[in-house]
Structure 1
Amino acid sequence: MKDLENISQKLDRRNFLLKTASGLGAFALGNLLAHSSDAKSIEQNLLAALPSIAPKAKRVVYLFMAGGPSQFETFDYKPKLSNMFGQDLPDSIRKGQRLTGMSANQAVLPVVPSAYKFNQHGKNKTWVSELLPYTAQVVDELCIIKSLYTEQINHDPAITFFQTGHQLPGRPSIGSWLSYGLGSENQNLPAFIVLVSKNASKDQPLYARLWGNGFLPSEHQGVQFRSGKDPVLFLNNPEGYDGSDRQEMLSYLTQLNQLQNENWADPEVDARIAQYEMAYRMQTSVPEVMDTTTEPNEVFDLYGPDSRDKGSYAANCLLARKLLEKDVRFVQLYHQGWDHHGGLPKNMAQQCKQTDQATAALLIDLKRRGMLEDTLVVWGGEFGRTVYSQGKLTKNDYGRDHHPRCFSMWMAGAGVKAGLSYGQTDDFSYNIVKDPVHVHDFQATLMHLMGIDHEQLIYKYQGRRFRLTDVSGQIVKGIFS
């Protein structure tokens, strides 16, 4: 304790004036807010000022298919292409639009129809590829948006844009914004949890900044849960330590941090204290939620044989359901391997086999537990693929380049109109002809369904007010139930 007293006494009169001269106004505001009966902190008071929107969703599970799944082999059926195999893409369709460096030098942009058949399913006779037989069975639960678009034509800026609202690194991710705006309903687990498939092809890298907190307090960053002995890194006690040792160490560390906070009034210190306390509670809660051995065989059969293999996409879908049951606010699954510049028919079949059954199972499982009505499920990648083939071309072997102008994704569950196909593309799925939906529109809509006005949830950083949707974004009301 003597050491703590010495640290506390380091703040003399001169240092006090230097450190607080520009912050007395904030101190006065904090004092006023501290006596308010409406909130316990400045952050809560700011959030209380947001317009009241009745939330449709309490939680989100976002299935991110990293690499850009082809809309031609999934949901955007284009039968007129069957008679155009190998023909050059008409200039009237391309309209001089930008190409990637991988196909810009091709003398011909040969049109290639999908090698796979489409069939109609559900009450609304929705067209779905034969590669997705399990998704086809639950298509009446889906709101398929066929008119997404973005400005980003390469993977890293495109996926960063989708996850953070900006193509350059450094901004908070969607889950971090929701954690900051809504907090957590489970004090023993993070509000934002990330799962990455171990059985996916690593064609494009994933970076932790995609679920990072950016300039928000660090307690709002996504926490990655892994398969194996240590689901959360550095959570378990070191060898030779037990729970009481850990508790004593954290107690002393908290006192040090509190002294630091009193001296500097740095909100990141509060975030650090909160994270240490959360880590201590997670030592009990994480092993419990990660244990799927008590699930009946029927559940494993529903999600597919891979669901018994911890860390696989199927196992992560099952784990996501358990996390949602524990009221985790935002669960994000990443599954890589959708970047098919060549060998697309074979690779798409493999990707769909890995993900289709478990994706449909998650919807079925949530619905029968009464959770789909207040859980928003999202499926999609960072952009789509081109109608023309890149490089080698045969009817059974071709590739597709990146295409940001239009692509498909779907939403299901809370507040979303089930059995709807929204938006329309031209006969080449190259341009949008009806109801375009920009990435910022998608983000604004997701936040609206969670009860947040995307224009009001802001964070001031380096003199500028930031928000997830930057300076744009329109709510897509046409998909609401």
Structure 2
Amino acid sequence: MSASHPSIRRQVLKASALGFGHLALASMMGSKSSADEPTTAANKTHFPPRAKRIVFLFMKGGPSHVDTFDPKPMLDRDHGKPLPFDLPRVTFAKQGNLLRSPWRFRQHGESGLPVSDLFPHVAQHIDDLCVLRSVHGTNPSHGGASMKLHTGTDQFVRPSMGAWITYGLGSDNENLPTFVTICPTLAHGGMNNWGAAFLPAHCQGTPIGNASQPAASAGVRHIQNSRLSTAEQRRQLDLIQAMNRDHLADASDDGSLDGRLQAFELAFRMQSEMPEAQDLASESIATHRLYGIDDPVTENFGRQCLLARRMLERGVRFVQVTHSDSEVQWDQHSNLRQGHTKNAAEVDKPIAGLLADLKSRGLLKDTLVLWGGEFGRTPTAQGSNGRDHNPHGFTMWMAGGGIKGGMAYGATDDYGYYAEQDKMHIHDLHATILHLLGLDHERLTYRYAGRDFRLTDVAGQVADRIIQS
């Protein structure tokens, strides 16, 4: 085992009575040391990246691809007829006959790609989008599918996508977390969807609020100390860190104490920058309107998207924005028209505003934007006016960050049930995302429990055709 391996580095740190607290303090004084760098990249990319950062717009519940970005003329033609091929071996609920989309698709932009009337604002940016029509997973339940999308597995607790990217790329702003998740859902995997699992603790995401509270009141808890001055907090923290380092030198540690030392230091430094980053009042009235913050329908998600832009431009590597609520989400087993209309109206203008804002600031070219849910919906009806879960073929889209815009990649069958052409498994999606960020998914590994782990497990192919040459 080489001396650069993380476990060897931890032993050296313990022997010298130094932990993350010392290293974090040293970084404040200009040192760039790191105790747990990737085994291959050492906080450097494997090859020149196309994207420096990523924002994931997570539509919890599963938006219907055949009602948004994947039109199916034969579904319209055969409405009410039985599906002409077999259903999957495992389905989530009882399904009926084919159900056409209640929305019209129209061509947009120079590319002429079709978008349903649910997304008139996003449609204006279609020439920047690469629509991935052949994404597929394995699990028809929300929890398993969400874990698969976020961590690469639906069976075990594993590091999240954001944690792997944090581990591979390191921080671009020492005063802010590398990975932030805005108003995340606490259901269906909960914090495991932004957790670090066995990766170093500093790789986990920092939640800002959660899906059960309005974005206007979401923030990092206890970010300011009204009782102690900065100098007093520094002296207090130095004492705590000194005691922790003494303990670290005398006891075996699985990395959790190291992580706690670094977390204390980051929390101290965040006081100087996080309040300003979260302050949307400093933005112009025009910007608030661009994101729909002036409209009660779009205000909540608009705030999340604007906060995401502020985090991205301040050096946060991975920002996740979750659209979810406790009642509707995108999970329309019934009332498809009402539910999808409500959800799309809430996110359409804010997403378009984010794309326009990133582009106007020159950030879109090296910011990867990812949109989608944990699965799609069936082309068959559940009840009279709903759709069941469908992980076998669904749509996500990417924009910016070296992606070819104005194109559709892959295809589902004539009715939209199964991915058929240029199939993109979740592992392929992850491999492509890491590639755009300059990371080789086969080389970004971490040794744990006697084996080398990676986000894509033992699979994953980069979709080269969607990447700009």
Give distance in 2, aligned partners of 1:388 and 1:184: 46
Deviates more, 1:113-122 or 1:222-231: 222-231
Aligned to 2:192: 209
AA paired with 2:36? Answer: E
Q: 1:317 aligned to 2:305?
A: yes
In 2, are the aligned partners of 1:192 and 1:221 still within 8 Å (CA)?
yes
Aligned to 2:164: 177
Gaps of 5+ in 1: 1-22
Q: 1:435 to 1:255 in 2, by over 3 A?
A: same
In 1, are the aligned partners of 2:38 and 2:445 still within 8 Å (CA)?
no
Give distance in 1, aligned partners of 2:66 and 2:382: 15
Aligned to 1:20: none
Shift of 1:177: 0.7
Q: 1:26 to 1:376 in 2, by over 3 A?
A: closer
AA paired with 2:151? Answer: T
Q: In the alignment, which of 223, 234, 239 is matched to residue 235 of structure 1?
A: 223
In 1, are the aligned partners of 2:92 and 2:388 still within 8 Å (CA)?
no
Aligned to 1:294: 282
Aligned to 1:7: none
Q: 1:140 aligned to 2:127?
A: yes
CA displacement 1:279-336 (0-9 Å, x = unmatched): 0111121110011112111111111135789982110101111111101100001112
Give distance in 2, aligned partners of 1:326 and 1:123: 33
For residues 2-401 of structure 1, the aligned pairs below 5 Å read: 27=11, 40=33, 43-44=36-37, 46-48=39-41, 52-90=46-84, 93-94=85-86, 96-103=87-94, 109-196=96-183, 207-226=190-209, 227=215, 231-237=219-225, 240-264=227-251, 266=253, 267-305=255-293, 312-336=300-324, 337-391=329-383, 393=384, 398-401=385-388
Q: 1:169 to 1:283 in 2, by over 3 A?
A: farther
SS of residue in 2 equivalent to 1:353: helix
Aligned length in residues: 438
CA displacement 1:365-408 (0-9 Å, x = unmatched): 000100001100000011111011001x2xxxx10001111000
Give distance in 2, aligned partners of 1:158 and 1:137: 30
Aligned to 1:422: 409
In 2, are the aligned partners of 1:81 and 1:111 still within 8 Å (CA)?
yes
Give distance in 1, aligned partners of 2:272 and 2:431: 36
Shift of 1:265: 5.5
In 1, are the aligned partners of 2:428 and 2:460 still within 8 Å (CA)?
yes
Q: 1:242 to 1:42 in 2, by over 3 A?
A: closer
Q: 1:25 to 1:68 in 2, by over 3 A?
A: closer
Give distance in 1, aligned partners of 2:163 and 2:92: 34
Give distance in 1, aligned partners of 2:75 and 2:128: 28
State, as a whole percentage, how many aligned pairs show the same letter.
40
C-alpha RMSD of matched pairs (Å): 2.7
Shift of 1:247: 2.1
CA displacement 1:212-271 (0-9 Å, x = unmatched): 11111111110011346671124332x644434322221111101111222235333222
Give distance in 2, aligned partners of 1:24 and 1:289: 37
AA paired with 1:277? Answer: E
Give distance in 2, aligned partners of 1:130 and 1:310: 17
CA displacement 1:168-204 (0-9 Å, x = unmatched): 342110111111111101010000001027xxxx896
Shift of 1:431: 2.1
Aligned to 1:480: 467
Q: 1:458 aligned to 2:445?
A: yes
Give distance in 2, aligned partners of 1:155 and 1:26: 38
Give distance in 2, aligned partners of 1:73 and 1:101: 20
Give distance in 2, aligned partners of 1:113 and 1:177: 40
Aligned to 1:446: 433
TM-score calculated relative to the size of structure 2: 0.87
Give distance in 2, aligned partners of 1:250 and 1:308: 43
SS of residue in 2 equivalent to 1:293: helix
